[in-house]
Amino acid sequence: MRFPYRLARVVRVSAARCRWRRACVALGLALMWVLLPSAASAIERDIVISVYQGECREGDFVANLATAREVVREALARGSHFVALPECFLSGYESAEAVQRGKRSLADPDLRQFIAESSSHDMVVLVGLARQDGDQLYNTELVIHRGQLLGFYDKVMLTGGDRDPLGFAPGTAVPVFQAHGVRFAVIICHDSSFPHVALAARLQGAELLFSPHNNEIRSVAADDHRHWVRNCHVGLACQLKMAVARANIVKSDRPGGIGYGDSFILSPQGTPLAEARLFKTQLITATVTPAMFRSPWVWADLHETPAWLRTQLGQLLTDFRRPTSDADLRSWLENMIVYHRFTPGEVSAATGLTLAEVTAATESHQLAGRQPSARTPGDPLRMLPYPGGRHPRSGFFEGQVMPQRETKFSVFTPWDEASYVVVDLPEAIFSNLGLTYLGHTHIPTIWDLQGITLPRLEWQRGSDGSLTSERTLPNGIAFGAQAKPTPAAVHMELWLRNGTAEQLSGLRVQNCVMLAAAEGFGEHTTSRHVYRPPYAAVRADNAPRWIITAWDPVQRCWGNERCPCLHSDPQFPDCAPGDTVRLRGWLSFYEGDDIQAEFERIEGMQWRRE
C-alpha cells in the first residue's frame, strides 16, 4: 500500500526530522544544559527593543513592505537595537488566498532589496513572511542585520488552520542568533502555548525571545484568548529567565473576528516594560538592562537544578517509541486504539506522533471505531505487548517512573474484552551484586550507579501468539522471558545465564501483575487477596471472579494496595559461571467461589514441570 503523505512524514527518517529529534533530546536537558549562561547574565549592556503592532494588508506584499520600512525608520529614530513585526506580516495570514498572493521566496527582488537596505544601520529587523521554498510553504520570521539575512525561524507548532487550509509545513529547527552582545531567538504564535520551543532556545543560551503573532480571534473568545496568551508569555519569561517581546496585529473589519493587539515587552520577572493599547496601531519601545537578569529581579538560576532531575527530564521527554515502518505503525495503532482503547493523547505519548498525525494515521488505517475481534471457544487468551503511553498503575507512580514496555505485556480477561492486567516480566532482578535489573526508574540499579544506560528492546512476537525477550547486561549476565497464551492460562518462563567469572547468588526476582485496568480489581486494597504459595489470587469486588498467578520456586507471595498489584515472586538457584537457571510461571482467570479447589485443579496440571 502506498504510504499516505502524512504517514510518510511520520516514519520517514529525513535529515530534517533527525535534526529535530536530536534537538528534542537536547531539549530534554541532558546534553545541552552545558550551553546555558552562567548565573550572571550574558547581556553586558542596555538593549533597546521595539515591537510594532498594526494592521497587515492581507495578500498585499508591496503595501506591507512599505509599512515595514516606515516602522524601521521610526524604530531607528528611537535608538532601537531590535525591532519586531508580527507573524506573516509581509504576506498576510487571513486566508489561503491571501497567503498565496503574499508569499515570497528568499530570492524575491523586492525582499532582497529590503534586506540590503539594512546595511545602512545596525538594528536587527525581525519580520514575518509566508516563505516559499520549492514546493513547501513555511510560516517564517526573517532575522535581518547589517544588509544580510542573519537567518530565519520557521514556526514549529502549527495549528490546524496553519496546515489546512493555509498549507504551511512545520519547521524542524530552533536556531539561536547573536547580535549586540545578546543571544536571541524567535517563537511564533502557537509556539508560545508550549514550553518546548522556548526551552530549546533557552538551553542554547538565548536570553531574549521574540514572539510574533497574527491573532484574529472570534469576538466572543477574544478576551479569554488574550488572558491565556499573556499568561503563557509571563510564564515563559519567569520560568526561563528571558526577556520576551510579543508583536501582534490589529484588525476589526472581518465579521465575527477581531485582531486585538495586546503587544508587549516583558522583563525576565514577567513585568511589562512596555504595552500597546488594544486595537491601536502603535510602536512600543523598552530598554532591557543586565540588572534585570539578576536578583532582586529574578530569584533562581537554572543551574540550581540537580543533575539527576535534568537527566530524568531528558528521558521523560523522549520516552516514546517511534514506529519504524507503516506496518509497525499499523500494528501498534491497532494494539493501542482497538484493544487497549487508548485516547489520541495516550497514543501520542507512546509513539511521539502529534495529535494530528495520530488522527491521520487512525483514519488511513481505518481503525476509528473498530471493535476487537471476538474470541471463540478454544482460542488462547488475548495477550499483547503493552505499548506504554498510559501508566499501568493507578497509584504509587513514584515507585515506577518511566515504565519500560519491553518487560510488560497485557492479558485480557475472558469475561470482559475491555479489561486487562499488565504483567511485568521481570519487574526486578536482585543478586549478590545488588539491584541487577529494574524495568522502570525508581531505586538505582548497579548500572545507574555506574552511569550506564541500558538500550531499549522490544518483545519478539511468535506466530503462536507467544512473546519472547532477551537482554545481555554489560557484565555478561543474560536473562530472558517467554509468555505463551493458551485457552486456560498464560505459561511463563524466566531464565538467567551467568556470563561472569564469579558465582551469582541471592537471585531474587519480582514479577508484578498490575490490576488497575481490570474492571472490578482496581480498588486500592489487599483485603480480597488470597495467598497459598506459590499461588497468589485476588477476587473482584463486584463478582466471584479471580485473577491467579504463581511462580516456581517461589520465595514470597504478596500485593501492594497502592498500585494495586499481585505478586508471586520467585528466586533462581545460585548460578555458577557459564550456567543457566530457569523459573516457571502461571497466570489464569477463574469464575467461582472455591478458590482453594481452583488452586488444586491448577496444581494437578503439573505446570511447574513443563
pLDDT digits (tens, 9 = 90+) for 40-89: 467 889 999 999 999 999 999 999 999 999 999 999 999 999 999 999 99
Average pLDDT, integer, range 322-335: 95
pLDDT surpasses 80 at 23: no
Between 303 and 362, whose confidence is greater?
362
Q: Are 281 and 86 in contact (CB under 8 A)?
A: no
C-alpha cell at 164: 489546512
Q: Are 580 and 477 in contact (CB under 8 A)?
A: no
Contacts of 471 (CB under 8 A, 6+ apart): 406, 437, 454, 457, 478, 479, 480
Q: Are 99 and 93 in contact (CB under 8 A)?
A: yes
Contacts of residues 469-478 at CB distance under 8 Å and 24 or more positions apart, as own/partner, are: 469/406, 469/407, 471/406, 471/437, 472/499, 473/436, 473/437, 473/447, 474/447, 475/433, 475/499, 475/500, 476/500, 477/431, 477/436, 477/504
Residue-wise pLDDT tens digits, 452-504: 999 999 999 999 999 999 999 999 999 999 999 999 999 999 999 999 999 99
* Domain 374-609 coded CATH 2.70.98: yes
Question: Which CATH code is given to the segment(s) 43-299?
Answer: 3.60.110.10
Alpha-carbon distance of 453 to 342, in angstroms, equals 29
pLDDT surpasses 50 at 33: no
| SS3 per-residue string spanning 261-297 | CCCEEECCCCCEEEECCCCCCEEEEEEECHHHHCCCC
Residue 155 CB neighbours (<10 A): 26
Which of 114, 173, 124 lies closest to 146, judged by CA?
A: 124
SS3 state of residue 301: coil
Please provide the distance, in angstroms rounded to a whole number, between the alpha carbons at the two ends of the chain.
43
pLDDT surpasses 90 at 249: yes
β-strand pairing of 408-412 with 529-532 = unpaired
Handedness of CA 383, 385, 391, 396 (dihedral sign): positive
Which of 436, 559, 583, 589 lies closest to 500, judged by CA?
A: 436
pLDDT surpasses 80 at 253: no
Q: How far is residue 230 from each of residues 245, 246, 268, 289, measured CA to CA in Å?
A: 11, 9, 14, 22
What does the mean pLDDT of the chain come to?
A: 91
pLDDT surpasses 90 at 557: yes
C-alpha cell at 419: 479489561
Q: How far is residue 34 from each of residues 29, 185, 364, measured CA to CA in Å?
A: 9, 18, 42
- pLDDT-derived band at 591 (thresholds 50, 70, 90) equals very high
Alpha-carbon distance of 327 to 52, in angstroms, equals 49
Check residue 41 and give its pLDDT: 61
Q: How far is residue 167 from each of residues 107, 170, 358, 397, 601, measured CA to CA in Å?
A: 20, 10, 19, 41, 64
**Cis link prior to 426 (omega < 30° from 0)?**
yes
Residue 222 CB neighbours (<10 A): 18
Alpha-carbon distance of 429 to 473, in angstroms, equals 12
Check residue 610 and give its pLDDT: 67
Alpha-carbon distance of 566 to 559, in angstroms, equals 5
pLDDT surpasses 90 at 393: yes
Average pLDDT, integer, range 351-364: 94
Check residue 316 and give its pLDDT: 85
